[in-house]
Amino acid sequence: MNSNIDSVKIQKWPRWCIGSLLLYALLVSPSLIIRYNAIAKNFGALLLALSMFSLIMYFYKNRHLQICSKFPRTIYTILLTYVSCSIFYGAFIDNGYVPLTFWGNIDYAPAFLLPLFVKIGMRKENVLWLLKVLAYFSLLTLPMFLVDFSYTLYIGWTLFFPLAFAKFLPKKLAIALIVSGICYASLCWFDGARTPVIRTIISMLIAVYTYLKPIISRRLANWAAIATIVIPFYYFFLYVTTGFSVFDSELSSRSSSLGDNSADTRTFLYEEILDDLQDTKTIWFGKGINGKYSSPFFSHNSGDNEERQNPEVGFLSYLLKGGIVYTVIVFLLLLLAVIRILSVKDNIIAQIFGLLIVQHIFLLFIENIPQYTLYNAVIWSIVGFAFSPNLYDVNENTIGKIFNVRRSFVLSKQQKTVINK
């Protein structure tokens, strides 16, 4: 009995943690983009503090919840150790430590807490609750466009998650999400936000795959997932060894059809980050949480500060903050999650989760900055679910039940009446 009571108390922490990030995405992030607002910034800092505190408390209370497989568990332990050492170094040793920035900026210490969401994802009830909440939260994507596009952009950032499960959601909700996805991608395209467009399209393709599952073999889907992961690594290797940039090549060749979206805004970032890390001899362990890189491009062309802490590309951000070592550990854990989740046979729900991690790995080479945001909380929770002992328990019926709580309650009440008779 006590364990049941304790488990209910534990489940409150994810609600506080995710709820704070929902408010941050809904109220804080868009308002800071539109114009600087001291009230919004302070409120955002409070929400971040509440979210991080709840995350740490949940992690502590579930410290005995471990990944079953030995190798992934070892990699996760190494990752947590590296994160702990980075935070300690950044807060107590690094001369660049500024308390408010270090703890209150989503690019600094909060970003290094993201792997803790793995523990939240390891309990299926948390992941299913997150899916339900984001399904209805995403319905605000289009209405908030009436306020400002920035609200639409940030609210729609997690639309990809419920959209991929459209087939298994209530029909009206699924249609609303699909319409929202199409409109969201269109609005982002016209505004020049290309990554949300790609993410939304991939999520729609995953949803289409669920409808065509009977005529598409699981092996073919897995090979497509492998290719999606290999391609960015191949082109990065090609860039490092030959200097060939796929961004410059592909965007230039399609400049007539892409219009304003044909600008190559990535090649110079790769060049600046890699040059800076090599020049400062920090390529292996990075520059730490407080690390910044020198950007002649932004200094000369946009009047921005030459020292920048955010390279706007997830892969490069990992390199900047933690070097090759940190980057390899993170990507290895992501790949292990994909391998485990896609190895589950005859479970389309598990496969969807795996494909969502695949799209994240792919987009890490384009954007997907590892900031303490709702998007990354979802991704790391999905990674945790990949290592969950409940992975095999979630199926189409499970998804349906969480969106029909009232109906299932009525049925159980009727069954109880029959039993009493």
Q: Quick one: DSSP state of residue 192?
A: T
Burial class (CB in 10 A: 0-12, 13-18, 19+), 43: middle
pTM of the model as a whole: 0.91
Hunting for tokens 């997150």 — which residue is that?
A: 130
3-class DSSP string for 97-130: CCHHHHHHCCCCHHHHCHHHHHHHHCCHHHHHHH
Which CA distances in Å does 306 have to 37, 120, 246, 282? 24, 38, 26, 18
Structure token pair of residue 301: 């062309």
Which CA distances in Å does 18 have to 13, 278, 303, 385, 390? 9, 38, 36, 16, 21
User: Do the beta carbons of residue 247 and residue 261 sit within 8 Å?
Assistant: no
Exposure string of 352-362, with b = 16+ CB inside 10 Å and e = fewer, is: bbbbbbbbbbb
DSSP three-state, residue 37: coil
- What pLDDT, on the 0 to 100 scale, is given for residue 265? 78
- What pLDDT, on the 0 to 100 scale, is given for residue 6? 34
Q: What is the pLDDT along the chain (421 residues), one digit of tens a residue?
A: 333 333 333 478 999 999 999 999 998 887 776 666 778 888 899 999 999 999 999 999 999 999 989 999 999 999 999 999 999 999 999 988 999 899 999 999 999 999 999 999 999 999 999 999 999 999 999 999 999 999 999 999 999 999 999 999 999 999 999 999 999 999 999 998 999 999 999 999 999 999 998 888 888 989 999 999 999 999 999 999 999 988 877 666 565 556 566 577 788 899 999 999 999 999 999 999 999 998 887 766 665 666 888 899 999 999 999 999 999 999 999 999 999 998 888 889 999 999 999 999 999 999 999 999 999 999 999 999 999 988 888 888 888 888 874 443 333 444 334 333 3
Question: Which residue stretches of 212-347 are H helix?
Answer: 218-242, 246-253, 255-258, 267-279, 296-301, 314-342
Q: Which amino acid is at 314?
A: G
User: Do the beta carbons of residue 272 and residue 306 sit within 8 Å?
Assistant: no
Cα 143 from Cα 140, distance rounded (Å):
5
Q: Is the dihedral of CA 408, 410, 412, 414 positive or negative?
A: negative
- What pLDDT, on the 0 to 100 scale, is given for residue 1? 32
- What pLDDT, on the 0 to 100 scale, is given for residue 239? 93
381: Cβ–Cβ under 8 A, 6 or more apart, which residues? 117, 118, 120, 121, 126, 127, 130
- What pLDDT, on the 0 to 100 scale, is given for residue 266? 87
